[in-house]
A and B are shown apart, each in its own frame.
Chain A
Amino acid sequence: MSQWIEDIAKGKDAVLFGIHMYGPGVLALIKVLLLLIPALILVPGLIWWERRLLSWMQDRIGPNRTGTITVPDNFPIKGLRGKKQRTAGLLQPIADGLKLFLKEDITPASIDRKVYFLAPAIALFPAFAIGGTLPWGSAYLPFGDAVGGIYSLLTPVANVDIGILYVLAISSLGVYGVVLAGYSSNNKYSLMGGLRSSAQLISYELAMGTALASIVLASGSLRMTDMVRVQEQALWGVLPAVQNWFVLTPFGLVGAVIFLICMIAETNRAPFDLPEAENELIAGYHTEYSSMKFAVFFMGEYAAMFFFSGVFAAVFLGGYNLLPLNYEYLATHGWNFLGQDMGGFWRGMAWFNYWAGPAIFVGKCVVGITFFIWLRATLPRLRYDQLMGLGWKTLLPLGISNLIIVGLWIVATKLWGIGGGWAAWAAAAAVLVIIYLNIASLSKKDEMAFGGRSVEMKDPSPRRTVKMVDPNKV
């Protein structure tokens, strides 16, 4: 046992639990299951978390009853009889799921039957497939550049050269489920939802692509594992004790904001949930879906949120690293605290960071989903023209200028070193801001010339004054 613990501490290849003995087929199956099963288990929990968090933010109570266990009166231990154990409604999503599966499945009469039944399946496939290139554990052992350890065998499902392009391709397929559901239901509202979804997805995919392309330029690789690895280097090329998480770099921050907005638009979540806008389209594309088929759409939405948060964590938030700190550097460059040698502590932290990688990664995904829920509780839904304006007129130019600046930064860094690179970056950003301000002032003049959208009232006084009634005199 102690030998085993030592092996773990040293990260020897012996600690592979015999997994390296399996053939590639079995190994692939294990990889896929290790990705899908946690996602499937987490989906009900996420639904509970969304409902509880929303209710908390909206000053409601939310589902807190289901799952209360009362000990029966004939229980052998006397002290426990009649006692209640609350689980804060954790079993509510399971009860909801059971209800959805047992409800009557209504199929409308004049639908395109084959497409109608196929649509939920098509919606579910890309939601789960997005996670195919996500690394949820470090393939590199701490202290050294050697590839090894258990995570190098188990993750990602496919460490392909085109990792980030795969994410883009699969997310672009996500629209089919929604569009086909809208079309096959033979319902005007559903069709409107499907059409809106396809227009929205195409608009935001471009901005998402530019945001990711800037990170690809900066990291020099399309592989997701390499992108995480690059983020473990020194911050801005000058601070070796801190990791270079892309969200901490200026261009990465811009890219992260663009990607975050596009991610919400791609998963059809509030404030971009126009395809299912309740007050305009009943329930949009899934108006005609009931019972299990609706549950499948629901599950797909949460799975897509989960995996998109994973992509965000891997590309911008340093993947499976807990804190943006280079433990290896701190351990080897003896940073003394109150006269104590902290090397052992940092070594321990490095190994903890390595072994807790999967938990940290899932934690980051949950933080991402919490952000989704927070936005849903905070922001009102965008109008359709606002949605298109945001995508095409704001995010896409911002993404492209970010891409150009990153290219400039790379060239300047190669020519004049790190300082020159950042100076060139700052100069280019300043020039772009000046150009933008000029263009913005131009379009403002233009708007004034055409009167804009505002309507001037002839009589601006309120039409109806509210009479105050004193309740005591009625």
Chain B
Amino acid sequence: MTPNQIVFLVLAFIAVMASAGVVVFGANAVRSALFLVLNFFVLGFIYFTLGAQLLGITQIMVYAGAIMVLFLFVIMMLQLHHGPQLKKYQDAKRPLAWLIGLGIFCLVFTQVIQKLSMTSQSPVTDEYGTPKAVGLVLYSTYSWPFEVTSVLLLIGVVGSILLAKRRI
């Protein structure tokens, strides 16, 4: 195993465990949100290992730093306490969920493990994900989708103001 692979596997393990923590360990909404924060944070580091600095830091800044804070804010405002849970002992959904989950896992695993065992180094250059490289591509080749996205965001802003304000 090369150092690159070890770094990736450690980060991937944390990310997978965190994303499992979002839905599997307990039913506390705040803890789930926290696991999601951890997942986003580690995902940023996986982007770093791929040389995508701008994408990684944006991931941490926007998702881990801003959106999840709002999520936590809402969860705490609503005071979502999980009440006593009723357990169904004979539920066909449980084994079915295990089966489908395992099936998808095997499917993805068999596809990924081959590529992963062959790859020892990320194929990208150092300049691949720097702000300069991303900016050059974004404002030349992909300027049309970029502008359309900005219009979409503008519509989102106007829409949220319309929904939130009763009187304008």
Determine if A183 is an interface residue (Cβ-Cβ < 8 Å): yes
Closest to B60 in A: A169
Of A41-49, A56-64, A84-92, A174-182, the stretch lying at the interface with chain B is A174-182
Choose from B54, B58, B72, B131 the contact partner of A198 (Cβ within 8 Å).
B72
Assess the B61–A165 pair: CB atoms within 8 A. yes
Closest CB in chain B relative to A178 CB, distance in Å = 10
Determine if A173 is an interface residue (Cβ-Cβ < 8 Å): yes
Interface set, chain A 152-191, CB cutoff 8 A to B? 160-162, 165-166, 168-169, 172-173, 175-176, 179-180, 182-183, 191
A172 with B76: in contact, given A161-B130, A202-B70 (CB under 8 Å)?
no
Choose from B37, B64, B76, B130 the contact partner of A195 (Cβ within 8 Å).
B76
Interface size on A, residues (CB 8 A): 26
Closest CB in chain B relative to A253 CB, distance in Å = 26
Choose from B58, B60, B76, B131 the contact partner of A173 (Cβ within 8 Å).
B60
Assess the A165–B57 pair: CB atoms within 8 A. yes
> Which residues from A are CB-within-8-Å of B60?
169, 172-173
Interface set, chain A 183-239, CB cutoff 8 A to B? 183, 191, 194-195, 198-199, 201-202, 205, 222
Closest to B37 in A: A176
A195 with B73: in contact, given A160-B53, A162-B57, A173-B64 (CB under 8 Å)?
yes
Closest to A206 in B: B66
Q: How far is the CA of A166 from the CA of B76 in the complex (A)?
A: 28
Determine if B11 is an interface residue (Cβ-Cβ < 8 Å): no
Interface set, chain A 363-396, CB cutoff 8 A to B? none
Determine if B112 is an interface residue (Cβ-Cβ < 8 Å): no
Determine if B77 is an interface residue (Cβ-Cβ < 8 Å): yes
Main secondary structure of the interface of B (DSSP, over half): helix
Closest CB in chain A relative to B114 CB, distance in Å = 32
Q: How far is the CA of A394 from the CA of B40 in the complex (A)?
A: 32
> Which residues from A are CB-within-8-Å of B131?
161-162, 165, 222
A202 with B69: in contact, given A115-B31, A191-B76 (CB under 8 Å)?
yes
Closest to B132 in A: A161
Determine if B50 is an interface residue (Cβ-Cβ < 8 Å): no
A198 with B31: in contact, given A160-B53, A176-B37, A205-B66 (CB under 8 Å)?
no
Interface set, chain B 21-60, CB cutoff 8 A to A? 28, 30-31, 34, 37, 41, 53-54, 57-58, 60
Closest to B28 in A: A112
A165 with B54: in contact, given A180-B34, A205-B66 (CB under 8 Å)?
yes
Q: How far is the CA of A205 from the CA of B37 in the complex (A)?
A: 18
> Which residues from B are CB-within-8-Å of A161?
53-54, 130-132
> Which residues from B are CB-within-8-Å of A168?
61
Assess the A183–B54 pair: CB atoms within 8 A. no
> Which residues from B are CB-within-8-Å of A115?
30-31, 34
Closest to A205 in B: B66
Q: How far is the CA of A161 from the CA of B127 in the complex (A)?
A: 10
> Which residues from B are CB-within-8-Å of A194?
76
Q: How far is the CA of A195 from the CA of B61 in the complex (A)?
A: 19
Assess the A183–B57 pair: CB atoms within 8 A. no
> Which residues from B are CB-within-8-Å of A201?
69
A172 with B61: in contact, given A198-B73, A202-B70 (CB under 8 Å)?
yes
Determine if B101 is an interface residue (Cβ-Cβ < 8 Å): no
> Which residues from B are CB-within-8-Å of A199?
73
Determine if B103 is an interface residue (Cβ-Cβ < 8 Å): no
Q: How far is the CA of A180 from the CA of B75 in the complex (A)?
A: 12
Q: How far is the CA of A115 from the CA of B34 in the complex (A)?
A: 10
Interface set, chain A 68-91, CB cutoff 8 A to B? none
Q: How far is the CA of A191 from the CA of B65 in the complex (A)?
A: 19
> Which residues from A are CB-within-8-Å of B31?
115
Q: Which 10 A-B pairs have the closest CB atoms?
A: A172-B65, A169-B61, A169-B60, A161-B130, A165-B57, A198-B73, A162-B57, A162-B53, A198-B69, A169-B57
A contacts, CB < 8 Å to B: 112, 115, 160-162, 165-166, 168-169, 172-173, 175-176, 179-180, 182-183, 191, 194-195, 198-199, 201-202, 205, 222
CB<8 Å pairs between A and B, sample of 17: A112-B28, A115-B31, A161-B53, A161-B54, A161-B131, A165-B58, A169-B61, A172-B60, A172-B64, A172-B66, A172-B69, A182-B76, A195-B73, A198-B70, A198-B72, A202-B66, A222-B131
